[in-house]
Amino acid sequence: MELRQLEYFLAVADNLSFTRASKRLHVVQSGVSATIRALERELGAELFIRGPAGVRLTPAGEQLRPHARATLDAASAAKDAVHATRGAVRGTVTVGTLTSINVIDLPTVLAELHARHPEVRVQLRAARAGTTGLERQLRDGDLDIAFLVFPGDVPAGLNGQQVAAVKLHLVVPAEHPLASAASVTLAELAGMSFVDAPPGYGTRIVIDKAFAAAGVERTVTLEVADLGTAAAYIRNGLGIGFLSWTILDDIDDAGLVTVPVTDQELCWRLYVATSATRPTSAAVRALLSLIKEKA
């Protein structure tokens, strides 16, 4: 069994597609398929179910996946140890990011990382299902670092450091009945329509938890994955919502009014997290150090 075979196997397992895996690996698809077939022959078991609906892992493939990840991690750690003797930091870091996150200037951080460690390569992965999806990918080993939002303590199995805490503001259209209110409570928002992120997104988790704690039911009539666009929907009367100053500062807030909420302080806390069960490479540690420095 070769490291290359495990690398190709994980690329297909992560993408559930031979086509996408070949693009990620910069290898022709036939080469990926041939490598996987050779690995299956060596192991005496099929690793993937190929069908018209796509690619799925077999039970054997599911069992191999964490061991393949651990083997490649160990090989990477061995390379790190050798490179460290020459003072070099190199390798690839896969980072999971959320949409509409500008409380940390990630492009500047990555530019500084490249200036200090030009042999480190970074792969950015946008959230498919918000914080919940990124956390799952981080635990599965598909990500090295993820930016996550937690309403409380960092969950077991993860290491995390808070890099930002941002208050959420209730935002209503200028013509809304609440626009002239000096303040409101969550109870006064019962029965109103909301614009919010889908379930599993960090802000949605924070807001849902606050309403549940207050015993107030909330109706989300419009879900938008990119909260940077939520203000436009609120302005057009499709609902009210909670937005952070980081979003409000980036938009034309004409036609919008913020109303203080007196009985709850909704705060959106951003963490940079890694798996507590996997070793961190020198490249990961270098990027974490820069994020903490710039946060």
Exposed e or buried b per residue across 40-63, where buried means at least 16 C-beta atoms within 10 angstroms of its C-beta:
beeeeeebbeeeeeebebeeebee
DSSP sequence for 171-235: EEETTSGGGG-S-B-GGGGTT-EEEEPPTTSHHHHHHHHHHHHHT---EEEEE-S-GGGHHHHHH
Whether 79 is covered by a domain: the verdict is no
Residue-level pLDDT at 250? 59
> In this structure, are 52 and 117 located in the same domain?
no
Residue-level pLDDT at 76? 80
**What is the rounded distance in angstroms from the CA atom of residue 151 to the CA atom of residue 209?**
8
> In this structure, are 191 and 250 located in the same domain?
yes
63-81 pLDDT, tens digit per residue, is 999 899 889 888 887 887 7
Whether 71 is covered by a domain: the verdict is no
Angular region, 100: left φ>0, alpha ψ -120 to 50, beta rest:
left
> In this structure, are 150 and 182 located in the same domain?
no
> In this structure, are 241 and 215 located in the same domain?
yes
CA geometry: angle 6, 8, 14, nearest 5 deg: 100
**What is the rounded distance in angstroms from the CA atom of residue 154 to the CA atom of residue 149?**
9
Residue-level pLDDT at 100? 66
* CA distances (Å), origin 129, targets 58, 164, 193: 24, 21, 22
* Tokens 């500008």 -> residue: 102
Whether 123 is covered by a domain: the verdict is yes
> In this structure, are 106 and 241 located in the same domain?
no
Residue-level pLDDT at 74? 84
> In this structure, are 250 and 230 located in the same domain?
yes
**What is the rounded distance in angstroms from the CA atom of residue 148 to the CA atom of residue 92?**
20
> In this structure, are 104 and 153 located in the same domain?
yes
CATH of the domain at 261: 3.40.190.10
> In this structure, are 1 and 124 located in the same domain?
no
Output the pTM of the full model: 0.72
Q: Which residues of the chain have a pLDDT value below 50?
A: none
> In this structure, are 136 and 214 located in the same domain?
no
> In this structure, are 2 and 48 located in the same domain?
yes
Whether 276 is covered by a domain: the verdict is yes
CATH of the domain at 11: 1.10.10.10
Whether 72 is covered by a domain: the verdict is no
CB 48 within 8 A of CB 33: no
**What is the rounded distance in angstroms from the CA atom of residue 274 to the CA atom of residue 141?**
10
Q: Which domain holds residue 23?
A: 1-64
Whether 194 is covered by a domain: the verdict is yes
* Tokens 């200036």 -> residue: 115
CB 254 within 8 A of CB 144: no
> In this structure, are 206 and 285 located in the same domain?
no
Whether 132 is covered by a domain: the verdict is yes
Whether 76 is covered by a domain: the verdict is no
> In this structure, are 137 and 273 located in the same domain?
yes
Q: Domains in the chain: how many in total?
A: 3
141-179 pLDDT, tens digit per residue, is 889 999 998 888 899 999 999 998 888 999 999 999 999
